[in-house]
Amino acid sequence: MKLNKTVILLVLVFFSGLLQSQINYNQRDDKYRLLGLKRAKEVYESAKKDFERAKELYSKQLISESEYDNNKARYADAEVNYQQSLLAVLFENQFVSVDRAVKYQNKEGKKFVRLRVENSSGGTEEFQKLINIDDKLFKSLQPDVINNVYISLSNNDGAIISQPYEAKISQLKFGMPVDLTFALLQDIDALTVNIIYGNGTTRSLKIYLQKDASQNIVAVQSKQFSQEGELGKTASYDLTLELFSGDNNTFRLEVVNLPQQITRYFKDAEGGARLNQFKFTENVNTRKASLEVSLPDRPSDEIKMDKPIQFFVLVIPNDKKIERTSDKTWSQDEIEKLNVGYVKLELVPKGKGRLLVRAPQLFYTVQPDGSVESTIEIVNEGTRILDNVEVKLDLPLNWGKEIEPSVIKTLGISEEKQVKLKIFPPKDISVGRYEVRIRTTSLSEGQPVTGEDKTLMIEVEGGSNIWGTALLVILILGLSAGIVIFGIKLSKK
């Protein structure tokens, strides 16, 4: 009986080795990896049994050492192929997904994205039962863990717009999602999440960012938060309104801490229509608007030159009631307690001098040896003091001038001063008309100010000859006397 068992083992080893040699690689195993894994598992289990039988026969010296080594080598090859097939299936089924991407803003106005990623390979237990894999080997390969996951955020041009530029998750376990926080270097509502994991698998997901509805506010930003406004002119502040609310979509705009003498109104950036409230639609979470503020023509106790005026723009839910904003001066702490969207703005009233030249007479006649005397008035019609007001005359060649005063050191707002001009034509001047241009320049807060030019028209008349006139008179008188005498003589005849 013992001999029969030994013979049977020898036959089984022979035929199993022969069968093992008949199993060829199937190229479809690369395409259908699960079927390839099943095939590799069967070969591995068969080679394992053969090796155990050969080991038993070799211990009884019933087979040679070379036969034993051949069985051992086939077993080792089958084991490696099985493990490779198992790894290929595991890597093929690894999958990293984005569960959520929420955009939010901190108190300083900086934008962030809170990203949640998870290992959604899933089905490890069902997969294990499907192919009936040994628990010890299966767990040693950690099928529920994805190692070295790299994540970055980019815009439509492919440029990374997050800080850190790239985040690494050493191990992403099934059923244990990981939250990552990125600071946005570019404020956008849609971006691409780039994921690299496993054996080089890549994913690029273009996603629309969710808003943090827990804040229930509209974030407000302005690129031109501090401006200089000239008295009598209008300054404009751009406003970007971004919804972070899950309950409200209609809001009203209000301005606080701005003096009543300053006119203010809001405009829609697209149509230009005035507005005091607006509504976000279902697919639009960002709106553009502008605040227009018009300063009065003259400074006052509340509007002082070069003194900054700080004020706030509030975005208040339409169903939220607060006390009248125009009846008090609000501090930033009080505004923050309102829990509404706001932005702090600054307006610096500025003025500019404006030169006005008044000339009561612009046409003169003069003899060649005479002179023209004129008076002009210099008026500051602006909103800032003028410094070093200078009057200049552009004269024809060889003409002379006197200007008194030629420079006015300061000229206050609405102040006027007279300047006397005296102009001398040269003695050998020809008869005719000549132009003299009056130019005025000044400085207002270091900036040049030029007045409107005035032009004097001067006509030079021909000089009178006394002796020639006297001779002409004598000739006329003599001629008249001769005619009278001739007439008397003629009448006597």
Looking at the domain assignment, is residue 476 inside a domain? Answer: no
Q: Where are the beta strands (DSSP E) in 306-428?
A: 309-317, 341-350, 355-358, 363-366, 372-380, 386-394, 400-404, 407-411, 416-424
Residues 250 and 318 both lie in one domain: yes
Looking at the domain assignment, is residue 474 inside a domain? Answer: no
Looking at the domain assignment, is residue 307 inside a domain? Answer: yes
Residues 23 and 103 both lie in one domain: no
Looking at the domain assignment, is residue 480 inside a domain? Answer: no
Looking at the domain assignment, is residue 484 inside a domain? Answer: no
Q: List, for residues 139-151, the tens digit of each pLDDT value.
A: 555 567 888 899 9
Per-residue pLDDT, 348: 92
Phi/psi at 483 (nearest 5 deg)? -65, -40
Judge contact between 209 and 191, C-beta under 8 A. yes
Residues 102 and 200 both lie in one domain: yes
Judge contact between 294 and 349, C-beta under 8 A. no
Boundary-marking domain end, from 335, 350, 365? 350
Boundary-marking domain end, from 68, 92, 116? 92
What CATH code is carried by the domain that includes residue 244?
Answer: 2.60.40.1510
Q: List, for residues 189-246, the tens digit of each pLDDT value.
A: 889 999 998 778 889 999 888 877 666 678 888 888 889 888 888 999 999 888 876 6
pTM for the predicted model, two decimal places = 0.55
Number of domains present in the structure of the chain: 4
**Cβ contacts of 399 within 8 Å, gap of 6 or more:** 423, 424, 425, 426, 434, 436
Looking at the domain assignment, is residue 341 inside a domain? Answer: yes
Residues 194 and 235 both lie in one domain: no
Per-residue pLDDT, 306: 84
Looking at the domain assignment, is residue 482 inside a domain? Answer: no
Looking at the domain assignment, is residue 483 inside a domain? Answer: no
Q: Given a cut of 80, is residue 366 above it in pLDDT?
A: yes
Q: What is the mean pLDDT of the chain?
A: 80
**Ranges 81-90, 270-279, 372-381, 401-410: which has the least confidence:** 81-90
Per-residue pLDDT, 19: 41
Residues 100 and 85 both lie in one domain: no
Residues 231 and 318 both lie in one domain: yes
Per-residue pLDDT, 382: 83
Q: Given a cut of 70, is residue 154 above it in pLDDT?
A: yes
Cα 64–chain centre separation: 82
**Ranges 213-227, 233-247, 342-356, 461-475: which has the least confidence:** 461-475
Judge contact between 128 and 172, C-beta under 8 A. no
Residue 1: pLDDT band (50, 70, 90) is very low
Boundary-marking domain end, from 36, 61, 92? 92
Residue 125: pLDDT band (50, 70, 90) is low
Per-residue pLDDT, 15: 39
Higher pLDDT: 31 or 348? It is 348
Residues 224 and 346 both lie in one domain: yes
Per-residue pLDDT, 466: 54
Residues 204 and 105 both lie in one domain: yes
Q: What does the pLDDT average to over 264-292? A: 84
Per-residue pLDDT, 123: 45
Higher pLDDT: 387 or 318? It is 387
Question: What span, in angstroms and rounded, lies between the C-alpha atoms of 65 and 93?
Answer: 42
Residues 163 and 206 both lie in one domain: yes
Report the alpha-carbon angle 429-431-437, nearest 5: 70
Per-residue pLDDT, 122: 53
Residues 336 and 394 both lie in one domain: no
Residues 224 and 343 both lie in one domain: yes
Per-residue pLDDT, 110: 84
% pLDDT > 70, the chain: 81
Range of the domain at 191: 96-211
Per-residue pLDDT, 28: 47
Residues 236 and 187 both lie in one domain: no
Per-residue pLDDT, 33: 57
What CATH code is carried by the domain that includes residue 156?
Answer: 2.60.40.150
Higher pLDDT: 489 or 152? It is 152
